[in-house]
Amino acid sequence: MASKFFANEVERLVAESIDGMLSLNPNRIARLEQGWPNQKVIVDRERHKRWEAKEAGLPVAVLCGGGSGHEPAFAGYVGSGMLSAAVAGDLFASPPTSAVVSALRNTITESGALVIVLCYTGDRLNFGAAVEAIRVETGLDARMVIVSDDVALRVKGAGEVRKTSARGLAGAMLVLKAAGAAAAAGLPLGDVERVATLVSDSVTTMGVSLTSCSIPGQTRPERTLNMDEMELGMGAHGEPGAIRSKLEGLDKIVETIMTRVGCVGDFDEVRRGSDVAILVNNMGGTTMLEFSAVVGSVRRQAEELLGCKVVRLYAGTYLSSLDMKGFSVSLLRMPDGSGGEELLRFLDAPTNAPAWASHLDQPGPPTLVPATRSRLSPATSFKAADASRTADKNMVSVHKAIERACMAAIQSRDTLNHLDACIGDGDCGSTFARGASQVRDSEAVRAAQSLHEALAVIADVAGEAMGGSSGVLLKIFFSAMASELRNDPDRDDIARAVTSGISKIMLYGGATRGDATMLDSLIPLSETLNAGGSWQEALIAAEDGCEATKSMAAKAGRASYVPGDSQMGVADPGATAVVLILQEILKGI
């Protein structure tokens, strides 16, 4: 576990973190100026403006809070339709009563206030004392709902959960969302409390982790899990889990968790066929790669193992435990009928709270769509795309040239391997020869009725056969030439096509002239052709270019990893291949 931190001073980290979140959302959330940073109170800015203006009929205030280290909880849930205020403590420590009183003082209205806390002694006491204090101070109604969704320590079959043993976990975020929406809908305090209690009573959570977390500024003895261990039933602070066991495969872990949160065989076992909402919480240190796989397994097993219909699936970092590598699953049993519809409406209601992802898709199995060859050319040949592409007249000489080129490449194998051995792994000749053999033997190449069709097929065949960077580069070169050509190309058309192929090699490959690659033969070749030179003159230019690679230090490709000195005097094998092949082709023209 990392115990290095991005921080100025550890003592200021929580305050600076809150200010960072505020600076991302200065129009949505604000903090109370007085008491800072001992009292860390974040309020819904828009609501607070209306509150300050003594606007009548403001909805019930909904508050939550707790220790820091659980970001984005709880400041991230402050906003319209969710929390009126959040109170943050220091790292994993409850805020003082005075901070909660201040939060209540600055949000409560005639409609009253509902305070929601996750069941931890410090939070219950400090938030509780504040609720009682504000009642005395204002004579207004303030109430508390305590969320105890952890089922890890629950005694199987027990009719009632022992309050002190059930911690509050990420399921509480669904309580906040529903209660916040109920308040925003204008419900009276008693009804907001009823909604919060309903969700709190209906949600069960269990977590698993592979590591504990590292706490800035704390050098407590690190509880380490062995490499083959995991802990099930974690709290939110790195405290020991209920069960330490062998690390298992993901589906098996999820099966264990789903069985527990579904209370299978227990007094509130989730009913098969019923609707559920699920929240999968990343405890902070699980990679998004793994986490998505977790989410997929959870959804599948909720349906297949528990027989439930997953109507909503929340996935993300809702209540982190600093950098703990773990996740938890919260299962919310939706009531039947109109109660379920009402609850879904509250869960779906819009909010501008920074950390609540509002636009949720309806979950389901992955959607697969059939791949078609192309909408535009449902036939099987590239030719379908362009009706103007028909047969070339002089295909006999084209096929002869291809045959010669392939022979040249095959016969040059040892020469090229030898050159490559001086600067690379000595397989350049073999690679070219392999591609050339397959091109020579290809039925599709033989069937090509135009130079551009032949080049397109060669691009595929050679690219596939050669593999590696050189295969892809030749594929790019020949494809680009094929794109450029039309039927019965003349010398100028071919020169343009070669130029196009070169530019694409440079674009995608990132090399340029003077890097000791095949470009050092190809570029002089194309320049000579484009300047009106003959093929023989172009060949000479290519040969000169190839010769020049003997005094170059490779800057691209594999040879660039070899010290420059040891390359001196050796021609680049790619540049040499171009020359050898070109020489052979020109013999036949």
Tell which positions 323-362 bind a second copy, by CB under 8 A.
323, 325, 327, 352, 354, 357-359, 361-362
Question: H or E stretch including 179?
Answer: helix 172-184
Name which position in 211, 417, 442, 517 contacts a second copy (CB under 8 A): 211
Check residue 220 for interaction with a second copy (CB under 8 A). Answer: no
Exposure letters 420-440 (e unless 16+ CB within 10 A, then b): bebbbeebbbebbbbbbebbb
Cα(279)–Cα(25) distance, integer angstroms: 25
| Window 392-451: residues binding a second copy (CB under 8 A) | none
Which of 336, 348, 386, 492 is in the footprint of a second copy by CB under 8 A?
Answer: 386
Q: Which is nearer to a second copy, 263 or 554 (CB)?
A: 554
Q: From CA 532, how far away is CA 297, in angstroms rounded?
A: 65
Q: Please report where in the chains the tokens 């439930």 appear, as a residue.
A: 308
Choose the stretch contacting a second copy; rule: CB under 8 A; options: 260-268, 328-336, 382-390, 414-422.
Answer: 382-390
Count Cα neighbours of 24 within 13 Å in the Cβ-side half-sphere.
12
Q: For 220, which DSSP code?
A: P
**Which of 235, 238, 241, 296: binder of a second copy (CB under 8 A)?**
296
Burial of 410 (0-12, 13-18, 19+ CB in 10 A): middle
Q: With contacts defined by CB under 8 A, name the span among 49-57, 424-432, 527-535, 564-572 that binds a second copy.
A: 49-57
* Among 340, 64, 62, CA closest to 185: 62
Nearer to a second copy, 93 or 293 (CB): 293
Q: Quick one: 376 or 396, whose CB is closer to a second copy? A: 376
589 lies in the site for a second copy, by CB under 8 A:
no
Reference 546, options 568, 527, 519, 564; nearest CA is 519
**Tokens coding 282:** 């990343």
CB closer to a second copy, 35 vs 188: 35
| Shortest Å, Cβ 588 to a second copy | 26
Q: In this structure, are residues 180 and 62 in contact, taking their beta carbons and an 8 Å threshold?
A: yes
Tokens, residue 489: 């190309």
Q: Determine which helix (DSSP H) or strand (DSSP E) holds 413, and give its type and residue range.
A: helix 413-423
Site for a second copy in 506-525 (CB under 8 A): 507-511
CB of 104 to a second copy, least distance (A): 8
Residue 293 touches a second copy, criterion: CB under 8 A: yes
Q: Count of residues binding a second copy (CB under 8 A)? A: 152
Q: Taking CB under 8 A as the rule, does residue 112 contact a second copy?
A: no
- Evaluated on CA atoms 228, 234, 239, 245, the torsion sign reads negative
Is 26 an interacting residue with respect to a second copy (CB under 8 A)?
yes
Q: Which of residues 139-178 bind a second copy (CB under 8 A)?
A: 139-140, 144, 146, 163-164
The pair of structure tokens assigned to 260 is: 């527990």
Q: How far is the CB of 39 from a second copy (least distance, A)?
A: 8
47/434 with CB nearer a second copy: 47
Q: Does 56 bind a second copy (CB under 8 A)?
A: no
Interface residue with a second copy among 80, 126, 328, 450 (CB under 8 A) is 126
Q: Is 217 near a second copy (CB under 8 A)?
A: no
Which of the 8 DSSP states describes residue 459? H
Is residue 48 within the footprint of a second copy (CB under 8 A)? Answer: yes
Segment interacting with a second copy (CB under 8 A) among 237-245, 293-301, 404-412, 430-438: 293-301
Q: Which stretch binds a second copy (CB under 8 A): 151-159, 259-267, 332-340, 502-510?
A: 502-510
Answer yes or no: are the C-beta atoms of 48 and 29 closer than 8 Å: no
Tell me which residues are annotated as active site: 237
Region of 65-73, 182-190, 431-439, 541-549 interacting with a second copy (CB under 8 A): 65-73
Among 63, 475, 518, 524, binds a second copy (CB under 8 A): 475
Residue 122, class by beta-carbon neighbours within 10 Å (0-12 exposed, 13-18 middle, 19+ buried)? middle
For a second copy, the closer of residues 55 and 414 by Cβ is 55
Is the distance from CB of 409 to CB of 436 less than 8 angstroms?
A: yes
Q: Return the structure tokens found at 336.
A: 């039947």
Q: Least distance from C-beta 121 to a second copy, angstroms?
A: 7
- Which tokens go with 287? 């990679």
Among positions 239-258, residues that touch a second copy (CB under 8 A) are: 247, 249-251, 253
Question: Is there a cis peptide before residue 37, judged by omega within 30 degrees of 0?
Answer: yes
Q: Which residues have CB under 8 Å from 145's CB, separation 6+?
A: 114, 115, 116, 117, 175, 179, 193, 196, 197, 200
Does position 197 interact with a second copy (CB under 8 A)? The reply is no
Minimum CB distance to a second copy smaller for 282 or for 412: 282
What binding mask, one character per residue, do residues 440-459 give for a second copy by CB under 8 A, x or -? ------------x---x--x
- The burial class, CB within 10 Å (0-12 / 13-18 / 19+), for 446 is middle
309 near a second copy, judged by CB under 8 A: no
Shortest distance in whole angstroms from residue 560 CB to a second copy: 9
On whether the CB atoms of residues 88 and 65 are closer than 8 A, the answer is: yes
Residue of 93, 133, 185, 311 interacting with a second copy (CB under 8 A):
133
What are the start-end ranges of the H helices in 268-367?
Answer: 288-304, 337-348
